[in-house]
Structure 1
Amino acid sequence: MADVKIRAPSPFWPRLAAAFAFAAPVAARGEGAEFQCFPMAETRHLIADRRLADPFASMQAASSAAHAEPIAAKLCRDRDALVYEISMLRRDGRVLRIYLDATNGQPHPGHK
């Protein structure tokens, strides 16, 4: 019978896994402080409470201007401003995201 040696796992892999486990939440927290999207219930409340622009009308206007099919609209906070993140599907299959100022439905100056 052949001699089979069993190697102990390298101490490198547990350290690498731990590094990824700690790095991902830290990176997400840093990004979340600047840009955060709201859940649907809170979105409805904010639209009614702050009298924001109609998200469906904004989505339709943006999709016709971009010649793309609207997919979704989310209300998000970008630093101190409320913006709609409008996702659209272009005819070439690419997803396009446009950011509109939620107060007036105009393009948000902080995004392309």
Structure 2
Amino acid sequence: MRLVWLVIALWGMAGAASAQSASAALRNCLPPREMQEAVAAKGIVTPASAVMTARRQVPGADVVRASLCRNSDSLVYVIMALQKDGRIVQVMIDGPSGRVKSVK
């Protein structure tokens, strides 16, 4: 729970616009059991693979959250990374391909 409040506080420091876009991306996320089922049944890359891809995009940052979310008609991983300067970076990874969709 402390980590959630830390991320919320850091979002406030990073700016309201980035916090709104991050929370919008996290609205339709799957619970852990459904995430496991999606990986097993729908050919979605593993969470570990998505996190490794995100870490390459934001070197030196700590991943604080990784969620599999519905985005239109597809599934994407929304990875939140905390940089050393306190900024939160959102990396979106396409679920089926494992490719980076965006870094904000």
Q: TM-score, normalised by structure 1?
A: 0.62
Once the two structures are superposed, residues 4-30 of structure 1 have per-residue CA deviations (whole angstroms, 9 ceiling, x without a partner) of: xxxxxxxxxxxxxxxxxxxxxxxxxxx
Q: Could you say which structure has the larger radius of gyration?
A: 1
After superposition, residues 1-112 of structure 1 pair within 5 angstroms as: 36-67=28-59, 68-108=61-101, 112=104
Query: Separation in 2 of the partners of 1:108 and 1:65?
Result: 11
User: What letter matches 1:48 in structure 2?
Assistant: A
Cα offset for 1:46?
Answer: 0.9
Contact 1:37 1:77 (C-alpha < 8 Å) held by counterparts: yes
Contact 2:53 2:100 (C-alpha < 8 Å) held by counterparts: no
Note the residue ranges of structure 2 that are not aligned, 5 or more in a row: 1-23
Query: Separation in 1 of the partners of 2:81 and 2:31?
Result: 20
Greater RCO structure (CA 8 Å; 6+ sep): 2
User: What letter matches 1:94 in structure 2?
Assistant: R
Figure out how many residues of one structure are paired with residues of the other and give that number: 79
Query: SS at 2:40's partner residue?
Result: helix
Note the residue ranges of structure 1 that are not aligned, 5 or more in a row: 1-30
Query: Separation in 2 of the partners of 1:51 and 1:104?
Result: 9
Once the two structures are superposed, residues 68-106 of structure 1 have per-residue CA deviations (whole angstroms, 9 ceiling, x without a partner) of: 111221000011111000011101011211111001111
Provide runs of 4+ in structure 1 moved above 3 Å: none
Query: SS at 2:101's partner residue?
Result: coil
Q: Percent identity?
A: 29
